[in-house]
Each structure stands twice: as C-alpha cells, then as structure tokens.
C-alpha cells in the first residue's frame, strides 16, 4: 500500500474538491447512490494527465490493473500497470517517474504471445479486469479497442480454476491474519474480513463463474456487495485525504468521518461500518462456496421448500451451509410477512410457540454448533428475537470487548456449547448442571446483552425483552424468573471476584442479597465463565479462574453461611472478628451480643452459648483492657474444669476486650455460668503443677506485632501457663490460636511488641520452664 498520495499537492487539492458527502448518512439501502466511483474517475483524469505527458507513455502501451481498472482509485492507492510496449520506453518512463517520487507497480509480459506465462494466479485475475489506457478519453477506452488485450484476457479466463484455488488460499491466510480485536475496533477497510478485498474477490467470482450465479436470489446478493463497494470506497477515499491516514479506520479518524457522512455520533457510523463488514463477509463466503461446489449441489439447495417458518428452521437443521443460509436469508422476510397478515390470536400464538420450540433446539448447548451459527448468519434470528436487529454491528470501543454485541451473543452461545461438551474448560469451577439449567443458561446468553446501546442499564432494560419473548415462547414462570435474574445480575459475580475482596464475607453477603445462593451459584458461575470467554478469549486467565473459584467456593461452603448472615446483620464487625468464631457461632447471637456489650459501660458477665452442633462457647467482656486479663480468663476456665479448644481474642475501641473460648465440657450452661462467676470473683492463688514446653519461639517480630508459639505435649494448664508467662512480662495479647492435634499442642499468640524487647524471649522461656 502506498504511504503517500500519488498526486502532487496541487492536483490532490483540486481532485478533493470533487469529493462530495452523501446527501444523508448511509443506512444500508442498496438503492442509494454514493459518489465514490465519480471521485475515482476524477483522480484517474489527474493521474493520466500527468502520466500521458511523458514522451514514452504511448510507446509503453499502458494497461490499467487493480483499483484503477475498476474505478476504485483512492488518493493512496497503489498504481498497478501492465506495459505491453517497448521495454526501453517502459524503463525510461518508470525511472523518470520514480525520480519524481511516483512509484509505479508494473510488470511486462514474459511471453509476448501469452501474457499468462510465468505469472501468479492473482496477476491473471488482474489481467481479466484490465483496461487499455492507449485510447485516450481519460483512461476509459473500451476493452474492444485492443484486440490483443481481449485475447490475453481469454487466456487468463481459461485458467480460472487455478485462480479460484489461489483466491481460496489467500483469503484463508488473510482471515487468520486480520481476525483480531482491531478489526472490530479499528477495521482495515482493504484487507480486513468483509473489507474491499473480500468485495473485489466476490465480484470477481461472478465474472469468473457466471454459470454458477444464475439463481433467483443471486441478484440481491450482488446488489448488496455493489452498494458496500461504493460505501467502503467513499470511506477509504475520505480517509486517504486525511494526513497520515491509510486503510486502517483508526479511532481518531472515526469522529471526523462520522460527522462528514452525516451520522449523529461515531458509534452510529461504526455500527453501520460493522453491519456492512458483516454483510460483505457473509456474501463473500457465499460467493466462494457457490463457485467451488457443483451445479448439482446448487440445484439441491434451490429445490429446498421454503414456504412456512417451519420450513426455514427445518432447512437449516438439515443443511446449515452458507448456501442454505443465503437462501433462508432471502426468503425469511417474505415467509414471515405472509404469516404476519393473519390477525387471529391463535395463529400468532401458534407461530410464537413454534419459534420457542425451534429456538430452544438451535441454541441447545448439547447440539452441534453449525445449525446455531446458521441461525444467526441466515438472519433468521432476527425473526425469532426482533430486538436483535438493534444490536447488529454495535461495537464497544475498548480493548476488552473483542466483538460487536451481536457477534458476542453468538460467541457466548458457542462457548456455552464448548463448556457443555468439555467441562474441564471451567477448571475447578466445573459443576454438574441439569438439562433445564443448561437451557436457562442458553437463553440467558441470548438475552443478556440484548439491550446494549440503549439509555439506562442494559442489564435492567434487557429483563422486559426477555420476559416478553419467553412468555410468548410458552416458557414456565420459574424458567422466565431464572433467565431474567441472570440477565439482570450477569455482571455481579465477576465484579465481586475481580473488583472486590473475594474472601470478604461482606462481598459474599452482597451476592447472597442479590440472589446468588443454592443452585444459582453454579448457574451464575458457569454463565460468568462463558461471558468472559465470549467477550475476549484472552481475558479468561488462571488468575481470574482462581479469584472466581475463591468466591464460588466460599459461597458454597456451609461454614460461610454464618459469616454471610453476620455481614448482613452487622457488616461493620464481620471482618474484624476471628473468622473461625464467625463460622461457628450463629450470626444472630453474635450480632445481638455485640449490641449488648457495645452499649455497656461496665464489664458484662460471661455468656455461655451452646450451638446446634454441640459446641460450647463462652464470651468474656471487659470494658477496659489490662495486662493479665487473658490469663485471668484462662484461669477461670481451668478452675471451672473446662478444657479450652479454641480462643478468639479481640480488643476493640468500641467494646473493650471481647474474647470467646470454645471449651470441651459436659456441663450445662447454667452450671458453667455459676462456676465462672465464682472463679472470677475469687481467682485461684494455688500453685499449679508447672508445664514444660518443648519449644517457645518467636515466629515473627514485626514492628507492629510479634507472634509467639508455645509447642509441647498436651497437658492440663498449658495455655494458662503460657498466658501467665506473657502477662508476667507485661505483654499485651491481641489474639490467640489454640491448636491441638493428637497429643501435641501449638498455642500461638499475637502480641504488641514488648517495651523491653531485649532478652524478652529468653525471659519468656525461663518463665515457662
């Protein structure tokens, strides 16, 4: 591609005056005339005026190829020429213009009698569309003015099968190269899928294989292609007039182009571009398929009966090829219009139920995806879900959303099918789902973004559309509720996992409040995976899988229930309390108790609580913290004959000391309460048998906290001796963990860094000998 205009600045300025904007913003109307070819002809006149002034021009016998021969010149087009004249004249002409900065892409016949000798198939294709320039008239001499050229075209045409083979290979390679996010955000007008190169090749196929394109529906397809040829050509011409612009429709160029074309916004302009790209890509696929199959195959497709809506669905199920897609595409409007004139309520209901049954079958993730793709590419989906038309071509201009909305919805349904057939794609998040749950997910995929591009929240706006259609399809109320819920809440799980703390009970509580519980957890998790993969496959990473799995696992964990309830009852406390305490003690009991101690101005008496699981928990409270308080509580529990299993130690500004202990006991709560009252009123001064620890170590000694571990054999009074030793050193205990396994203990304390830190650990070890 040329990097600068082929005309000098003065000639280009003069030519630009002939480029006029369309009377109204193009909207896909194939009857609309767009002025791209006229501007091309003006560029040709200017170019020919410059080239023909050279003394060797006529002797070179120039023949226009490529965009010049097709009246598709743009300011930065390549200038492709074939010279059949004197070789020395050609070299002089090309050299002189190169010195002037005009680079001509040219070739000369290797064999003067057969110009196809030694050339690639694409050069033969260019030869078939070539136009002689030696007759004057601004480069528009008739092909018949050169009998020699006509004969050479016939030779090239005889090689049409070789040309077709090369075209198929080139298109496949080009599609792979330009199949990226950029072709949606910043499409390449020439080489991108559905661009001018696809257009040129589709139109060339009709010229190469005219006998294949004789069906009654073929005319419309080529009318559409010719319309977009004019539209894209005009966009490219205007784009080339911008400084530094090429064939890439970059974001900075979209706004001025939208304004010049008369669109209300760049988004409207790009929506029309993407709609055109989609249509051109489809008809190019159809043209290639038509050219490569037998005439018998074409006749089979043409013979398919398409008189009723049921016929359309049946045809695509039987034959989802692009050939049948095109035939259904051409007949659907007529078929549904014929049904629409029947005003009877029963007829309308009958049609809606038919659509509901067929749609359920086509989007079933357990079925092959070819009929699903055919449903969308044939545009039969527009008649099933009329609101779908409004999102066709709608592009979200960011680097995350890879596809236009309509393409994303199809991709979501395809990803759902892949996940249904290969659960390992979900990793640890894979969950078994029922047939109805897969059906719910398929309709959620279909409707979750149906309201994109409208004012308001598309998740909310889409609910009414989904409910209206699903009711007409005959779905049950519970089914409709589940689909509508996913449509409304389809973003909350990913937001919780990637934008909030996935380990926070507050996060879990917000999800539960939105209905993310029980069977809806795996349902929404599966949808979230599908939605991410369908938005941009590169966005589904191990990191996202881990975070999403963390949220889901916590929601599914029975031990999280209490934390979730506490987060709803007392959200300011849930993350400040020991997580084990929160998971084991009923949330309502904790919330009520926190209210009690927070409002108390003096110490509250111990509270004994027996859970449904059989555990006994005891809460101690002191309005003010002081050294040795933890040892006092542990001593009281020992005096009451209670063996400590777990300690949850807290000190809050609002409550003071707030410690909970899980104990092993057969005693009733009333008896424990009395024993503790006596033990606290008269702390025991009787010396206990000393406990020897195997190891007393500082696990960490950070600036804000030290962690001390006491390890040894499980012995009565071990925790009390550790607590007493810490108290004797004036250590302020912030938290404690009591670990017992087998006959071993590992009691761990978090303390504020001691004031006399030097030799602290040695003194502590002495105190525990």
**Percent with pLDDT over 70 in the chain:** 94
Domain assignment present for 423: yes
The two three-digit tokens of residue 433, written as one number: 């789902």
Domain boundary among 273, 291, 309: 291
pLDDT tens digits, one per residue of 153-167: 999 999 999 999 999
**Alpha carbon distance 50, 8 (integer Å):** 10
> Are residue 541 and residue 584 in the same domain, yes or no?
no
Q: Report helix, strand or coil for 416.
A: helix
Domain assignment present for 548: yes
Which residue range is the domain that position 50 belongs to?
1-291
DSSP codes, 344-371: -HHHHHHHHHHHHHHHHHHT-TTS-HHH
> Are residue 265 and residue 363 in the same domain, yes or no?
no
pLDDT at 768: 78
- pTM for this predicted structure: 0.78
Domain assignment present for 565: no
Domain assignment present for 572: no
> Are residue 350 and residue 461 in the same domain, yes or no?
no
> Are residue 417 and residue 519 in the same domain, yes or no?
yes
Residues pairing with 643 in the sheet: 664
**Alpha carbon distance 735, 728 (integer Å):** 17
Burial letters for 238-250: b for 16+ Cβ neighbours within 10 Å, e otherwise? bbbbeeebbbbbe
pLDDT at 398: 52
pLDDT at 225: 94
State phi, psi for 136 to the nearest 5 degrees: 75, -160
> Are residue 210 and residue 300 in the same domain, yes or no?
no
> Are residue 188 and residue 212 in the same domain, yes or no?
yes
Domain assignment present for 563: no
The two three-digit tokens of residue 519, written as one number: 């069977």
pLDDT at 10: 82
Number of domain units in the chain: 4
**Alpha carbon distance 384, 203 (integer Å):** 31
Instruction: Enumerate residue ranges in the chain where pLDDT < 50.
Output: 1-2, 136-145, 180-182, 341-345, 399
pLDDT at 141: 46
**Alpha carbon distance 746, 714 (integer Å):** 9
pLDDT at 273: 93
> Are residue 54 and residue 181 in the same domain, yes or no?
yes
> Are residue 2 and residue 133 in the same domain, yes or no?
yes
The two three-digit tokens of residue 690, written as one number: 């000393």
> Are residue 250 and residue 297 in the same domain, yes or no?
no
> Are residue 585 and residue 655 in the same domain, yes or no?
yes
Q: For the chain, how long is the longest CA-to-CA vector?
A: 125
Domain assignment present for 569: no
Domain boundary among 248, 263, 291: 291
> Are residue 372 and residue 520 in the same domain, yes or no?
no
DSSP codes, 509-522: HHHHHTT--TTHHH
> Are residue 380 and residue 434 in the same domain, yes or no?
no
Domain assignment present for 564: no
Domain boundary among 244, 273, 291: 291
CATH number of the domain at 731, please.
Answer: 3.40.1020
Domain assignment present for 129: yes
Average pLDDT, the chain: 89
**Alpha carbon distance 677, 683 (integer Å):** 10
């Amino acid at each position: 591609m040329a990097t600068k205009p082929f005309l000098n600045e003065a000639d280009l300025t003069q030519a630009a005056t002939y480029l006029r904007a369309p009377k109204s913003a193009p909207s896909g109307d194939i009857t609309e005339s767009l002025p791209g070819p006229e501007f091309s002809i003006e560029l040709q006149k200017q170019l020919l005026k410059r080239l023909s002034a050279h003394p060797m021009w006529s002797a070179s016998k120039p023949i226009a190829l490529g965009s010049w021969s097709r009246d598709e010149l743009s300011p930065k087009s390549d200038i492709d020429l074939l010279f059949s004249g004197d070789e020395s004249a050609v070299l002089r002409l090309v050299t002189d213009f190169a010195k002037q900065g005009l680079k001509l892409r040219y070739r000369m016949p290797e064999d003067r009698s057969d110009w196809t000798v030694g050339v690639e198939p694409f050069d033969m294709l260019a030869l078939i569309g070539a136009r002689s320039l030696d007759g004057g008239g601004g480069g528009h001499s008739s092909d018949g003015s050169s009998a020699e050229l006509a004969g050479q075209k016939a030779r090239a045409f005889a090689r049409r099968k070789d040309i077709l083979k090369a075209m198929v290979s080139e298109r496949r390679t080009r599609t792979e190269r330009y199949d990226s996010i950029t072709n949606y955000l910043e499409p390449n007008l020439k080489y991108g899928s559905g661009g001018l190169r696809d257009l040129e090749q589709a139109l060339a196929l009709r010229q190469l294989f005219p006998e294949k394109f004789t069906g009654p529906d073929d005319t419309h397809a080529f009318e559409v292609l010719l319309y977009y040829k004019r539209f894209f050509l005009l966009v490219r011409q205007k784009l080339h007039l911008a400084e530094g612009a090429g064939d890439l429709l970059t974001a900075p160029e979209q706004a001025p182009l939208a304004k010049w074309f008369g669109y209300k916004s760049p988004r409207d302009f790009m929506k029309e571009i993407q709609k055109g790209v989609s249509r051109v890509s489809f008809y190019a696929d159809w043209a290639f398929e038509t050219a490569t199959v037998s005439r018998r195959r074409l006749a089979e497709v043409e013979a398919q009966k398409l008189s009723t809506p049921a016929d359309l669905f049946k045809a695509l199920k039987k034959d989802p090829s692009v050939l049948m897609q095109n035939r259904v595409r051409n007949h659907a409007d007529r078929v549904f219009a014929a049904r629409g004139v029947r005003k009877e309520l029963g007829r309308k209901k009958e049609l809606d139920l038919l659509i509901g049954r067929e749609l359920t079958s086509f989007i079933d993730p357990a079925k092959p995806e070819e009929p699903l793709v055919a449903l969308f590419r044939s545009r039969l989906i527009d008649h099933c879900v009329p609101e779908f038309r409004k999102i066709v071509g709608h592009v979200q201009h960011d680097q995350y959303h890879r596809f236009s909305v309509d393409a994303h919805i199809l991709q979501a349904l395809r990803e759902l099918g892949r996940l249904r057939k290969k659960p390992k794609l979900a990793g640890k998040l894979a969950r078994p789902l029922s047939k109805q749950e897969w059906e719910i997910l398929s309709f959620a995929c279909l409707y979750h973004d149906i309201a994109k591009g409208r004012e308001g929240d598309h998740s909310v706006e889409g609910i009414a559309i989904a409910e209206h259609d699903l009711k007409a399809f005959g779905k049950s109320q519970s089914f409709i509720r589940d689909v509508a819920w996913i449509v409304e809440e389809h973003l909350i799980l990913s937001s919780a996992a990637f934008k909030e703390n996935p380990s926070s009970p507050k996060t879990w509580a917000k999800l539960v409040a939105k209905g993310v519980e029980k069977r809806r957890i795996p349902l929404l998790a599966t949808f979230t995976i599908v939605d991410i993969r369908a938005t941009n496959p590169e966005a589904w990473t191990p990191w996202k899988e881990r975070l999403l799995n963390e949220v889901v696992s916590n929601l599914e964990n029975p031990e999280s229930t209490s934390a979730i309830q506490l987060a709803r009852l007392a959200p300011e406390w849930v993350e400040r309390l020991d997580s084990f305490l929160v998971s084991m003690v009923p949330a309502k009991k904790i919330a009520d108790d926190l209210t009690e101690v927070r409002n108390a101005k003096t110490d509250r008496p111990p509270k004994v609580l027996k859970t449904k699981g059989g555990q006994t928990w005891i809460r101690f409270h002191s309005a003010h913290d002081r050294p040795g308080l933890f040892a006092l509580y542990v001593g009281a529990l020992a005096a009451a004959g209670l063996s400590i299993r777990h300690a949850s130690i807290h000190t809050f500004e609002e409550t003071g000391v707030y410690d909970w202990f899980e104990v092993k006991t057969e005693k009733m709560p009333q008896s424990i309460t009395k024993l503790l009252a006596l033990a606290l009123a008269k702390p025991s001064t009787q010396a206990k048998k000393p406990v020897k620890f195997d190891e007393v170590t500082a696990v960490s000694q950070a600036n804000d906290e030290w962690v001390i571990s006491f390890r040894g054999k499980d012995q009565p009074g071990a925790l009390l001796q550790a607590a007493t030793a810490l108290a004797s050193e004036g250590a302020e205990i912030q938290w404690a963990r009591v670990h017992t396994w087998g006959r071993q203990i590992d009691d761990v304390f978090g303390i504020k860094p001691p004031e006399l830190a030097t030799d602290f650990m040695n003194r502590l070890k002495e105190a525990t000998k």
